Structure 1
Amino acid sequence: MAASSNSSLSGSSVSSDPEDYQPPIWKSYLYRLQQEAPRPKRMTCPQEMETRPKYYGREFHGMLSRECADELLGGAEGAYLVRESQRQPGTHTLALRFGDQTLNYRLFYDGKHFVGEKRFETVHDLVTDGLITLYIETKAAEYIAKMTTNPIYEHLGYTSLLKDKMGHRLSRGHTEPRRVTFQREDSKITTSPLVRHSTLKDCPSEKQSSYDKIHNFKVHTFRGPHWCEYCANFMWGLIAQGVHCSDCGLNVHKQCSKLVPSDCQPDLRRIKKVFSCDLTTLVKAHNTTRPMVVDMCIKEIELRGLQSEGLYRVSGFSEHIEDVRLAFDRDGEKADISANVYNDINIIAGALKLYLRDLPIPVITFHVYSRFIQAAKIPNPDTRLEAIHEGLLQLPPAHYETLRYLMMHLKKVTMFEKDNFMNSENLGIVFGPTLMQPPEQNALATLNDMRHQKLIIQLLIENEDVLF
């Protein structure tokens, strides 16, 4: 079955070269089928039913058998009523005529009416949506099964434009991590630590500079006709017709969402806050390699705080740290965190720690947490560093770049140890639980892991120039 006519895409973004741009075409076949679907016909009960629940209207007919319900519906396509089941008293059934037969569905209510996943304000809306779905799935089952085979997603103008923009930024500004190859004890070739160190620094990386991000899809109800931006087909139904990416605004069928590439390009207008925002989402929305919070706080600390005693260990006033958080959430990169506003550098240091601690996915992600903990337990120093480096290569690029930049900064902090009394071990104690959090919050496991967390951060600081 094929679409017999098409309608043009309206309001789509254009490509970077307007002369080459051809707007994709919305496929209107499923839209026309929805227009053809049977309309619901409520069969009202002629008498008031004392047993009628308050959330049903006159469509409720009391206790009826299937045969009686079928007779009352009279064979009219789209006719429906609600009955109390004879087989299971106290439960309610929707009887609906479709395709020359009466279909019976167990009906539920929890503040809204539902048969399956979708929930409706009224039984009438539920039946309307059900008839549309039944009609389309009956008439276009083969078409629906094949409709994702020729997607328009890759041809949408904004996709290619943002990919070009991202590629240009990465080639211009991203520093790739270096692949480290450590000399194992059992190797026949031996080199001095100094020669080995120099070799490791200049070794090229295999990690790709790609800030891929999956879409943040959530079930969505679209007002008015809406088409899928993956397959270009109409999204049918009254409510919850598809899913919507809350980060970039992409709208697709639920089944199409499984096929969309991990190339979400977050839109700043959709990012509600800076703190507690996924790290990759934030850097892509701001078109940077690292969060602006990290860059701005570190710049301020290195400008006036490296010699501050107990830097990162001494706490600033919590209400002032909260003010900094609100400033970033409100003003983004325009937030003023200078000495004119916050004279105490511990406030800025506290805000940086708060930002890192509040990330929904820690800088050292849940996915690689156990790899780092196991690496910390390796007794041989060279083998341990190699395991740590392998873990670093598993980090998403935005997380890797943030960690790299932070370790460079903390290395600078240790250079002023005689003034600030903060060495790599002290900083490991402070930043271990901040940068590393176990996937499952188990108090005993977390307590046991703390010394390993501290050691990992300590080694990252001390070997920053080798590992990154």
Structure 2
Amino acid sequence: MRKNVRCFGSLSKISSLVRRAALTHNDNHFNYEKTHNFKVHTFRGPHWCEYCANFMWGLIAQGVRCSDCGLNVHKQCSKHVPNDCQPDLKRIKKVYCCDLTTLVKAHNTQRPMVVDICIREIEARGLKSEGLYRVSGFTEHIEDVKMAFDRDGEKADISANIYPDINIITGALKLYFRDLPIPVITYDTYPKFIEAAKISNADERLEAVHDVLMLLPPAHYETLRYLMIHLKKVTMNEKDNFMNAENLGIVFGPTLMRSPEDSTLTTLHDMRYQKLIVQILIENEDVLF
């Protein structure tokens, strides 16, 4: 009888979690706000602030310009400008190493197009590939894919005709995540995820992971959600690819999460918790997302 009560309690918690996740997702995760990336700028000729409409005085460093959208304002005015940056594709020089939200807004997509394109290719021809994501492709070929995305954007050709080894595509996707200036699991949320991973009770740990997920910026949340759905498909082919959630956690833990502290000791200490977080996200993607 006691076992049945515990079981009912767990199901009730998970049902509650699903309902809350759906509500919170609808409320918070389609408003892709982005702060401006202001840098001090020297303007040639007369210039007016695009926030207060007053003249910018001086000969040098008269104001600041957003390097993503080109908005020109006084330095003091920049503190009051709303988070409404709309990046201009002409100003976004790269796909890799570009802030995730900036890339998403520049291309007007829910997720970085490189993630969508790579995952489509992997699911089309690689889900049964042994050691998928664990086996590495040739570094120079992965760099070729990176350059193709940087050069051609969504027109980059990563088909089997050009790259027959699927491990090159998985390597390019992992490299994209590693090259992000702010990881998919952001520096702000990293310590909260690590603390959640340390909770011994499985139900409470799941609740804690869900609560931290809701703190991710919308573009990061959506990218993580899409990736976890994909990785769940990878585990469904485990009998062919030999990649379960734990194995994928080992691969993607340090790929998606980086400690804000630049400390080798911290990194080594956190590795098992990084693995566990990704494992939990994969195994519970239908509940957490």
Q: Same fold (TM over 0.5)?
A: yes
Counterpart of 1:376 in structure 2 is 197
The one-character-per-residue Cα deviations of 1:316-358 (angstroms, maximum 9, x if unpaired) are 0000000000000000000000101100000000000000010
* 1:168-207 pair list within 5 angstroms: 191=8, 193-194=10-11, 197-198=14-15, 200-203=17-20, 204-206=22-24, 207=27
Match of 2:146 in 1: 325
Residue 400 (str. 1) matches residue 218 (str. 2): no
Letter in 1 for 2:117: M
What is the RMSD computed on CA atoms of the aligned residues? Answer: 1.6
Question: What residue number does 1:250 align with?
Answer: 71
2:246 to 404, 412, 425: 425
Match of 1:447 among 268, 273, 277: 268
In 1, the alpha carbon distance for the partners of 2:14 and 2:281 equals: 15
Counterparts in 2 of 1:137-156, with a 5 A limit? none
Task: For 1:197 and 1:300, locate their aligned partners in 2 and report how far apart those are by CA, in whole Å.
Answer: 33
Aligned pairs for 1:109-128 (under 5 A) are none
> Which blocks of at least 5 consecutive residues in structure 1 are unaligned?
1-187
Q: In 2, Cα distance between the equivalents of 1:420 and 1:221?
A: 56
Identity %: 76
1:205-237 deviations in Å (ceiling 9; x for gaps): 234121111100000011110000000001011
Deviation at 1:454, TM superposition (A): 0.2
Deviation at 1:191, TM superposition (A): 2.4
Q: Which has the larger radius of gyration?
A: 1
Following the alignment from structure 1 to structure 2, what is the Cα–Cα distance between the partners of residues 441 and 190? 42
Describe the superposition over 1:156-183 as per-residue Cα deviations: whole angstroms up to 9, x where unpaired. Answer: xxxxxxxxxxxxxxxxxxxxxxxxxxxx
How many Å apart are 1:196 and its aligned residue? 5.1
- Deviation per CA, 1:73-99, whole angstroms, max 9, x where unpaired? xxxxxxxxxxxxxxxxxxxxxxxxxxx
Say whether 1:387 aligns with 2:208: yes
**1:292 alignment partner AA:** M
Amino acid aligned to 1:262: N
Counterpart Cα distance in 2 of 1:380 and 1:296: 38
Alignment counterpart, residue 273 of structure 1, candidates 94, 105, 108: 94
* Secondary structure in 2 matching 1:364: coil
Which residue of the partner structure matches residue 149 of structure 1?
none
Partner in structure 2 of residue 11 of structure 1: none
Q: Distance in 2 between matches of 1:288 and 1:429?
A: 29
Amino acid corresponding to residue 234 of structure 1 in structure 2: F
2:175 matched residue in structure 1: 354
Paired with 2:243 and 2:18, the residues of 1 have a C-alpha distance of 26
Structure with the larger strand share? 1
Q: Does 1:223 align with 2:44?
A: yes
Q: Which residue of 2 aligns with 1:457?
A: 278
Q: Deviations over 1:248-307 (max 9, x none)?
A: 000000000000011111010100000000000000000000000000000000000000
Q: Compare the two structures and name the one with the higher helix fraction.
A: 2
Correspondences of 1:150-169 after superposition (within 5 Å): none
Q: Which whole-Å CA distance do the structure 1 matches of 2:146 and 2:272 have between them?
A: 29
Q: SS of 1:218's equivalent?
A: strand
Cα distance in 1, alignment partners of residues 159 and 15 from structure 2: 38
Instruction: Give CA deviations for 1:88-114 in whole Å, capped at 9, x if unaligned.
Output: xxxxxxxxxxxxxxxxxxxxxxxxxxx
For residue 244 of structure 1, give the secondary structure of its aligned residue in structure 2. Answer: strand
- 2:159 aligned with 1:338, yes or no? yes
Residue 213 of structure 1 corresponds to which residue in structure 2? 34
Secondary structure of residue in 1 paired with 2:23: coil
Distance (Å, rounded) in 2 between the aligned partners of 1:298 and 1:263 = 30
C-alpha distance in 2, partners of 1:443/1:200?
35
TM-score for both structures, normalised by structure 2: 0.94
| Corresponding residue for residue 106 of structure 2 | 285
The CA deviation at 1:201 is 3.1
Structure 2: distance between partners of 1:318 and 1:443: 24
Residues in 1 aligned to 2:16 and 2:270: alpha-carbon distance in whole angstroms: 32
> AA paired with 2:78?
S
Q: Distance in 1 between matches of 2:278 and 2:113?
A: 22
Q: Which amino acid aligns with 1:444?
A: L
> How far did residue 198 of structure 1 move?
4.8
SS at match of 1:205: helix
Give the number of aligned pairs: 282
2:160 and 2:10 mapped to 1: Cα distance?
A: 43
**Does structure 1 conserve the Cα–Cα contact (< 8 Å) formed by 2:10 and 2:203?**
no
1:413 to 216, 234, 244: 234
Aligned AA for 2:247? Answer: N
What is the CA distance between 1:423 and its match in structure 2?
A: 0.3
**Secondary structure of the corresponding residue to residue 188 of structure 2:** helix
What amino acid is aligned across from residue 34 of structure 2 in structure 1?
K
**Amino acid in structure 2 at the alignment position of 1:315:** S
Give the Cα separation in 2 of the matches to 1:198 and 1:222: 57
In structure 2, what is the Cα distance between the partners aligned to 1:249 and 1:313? Answer: 41
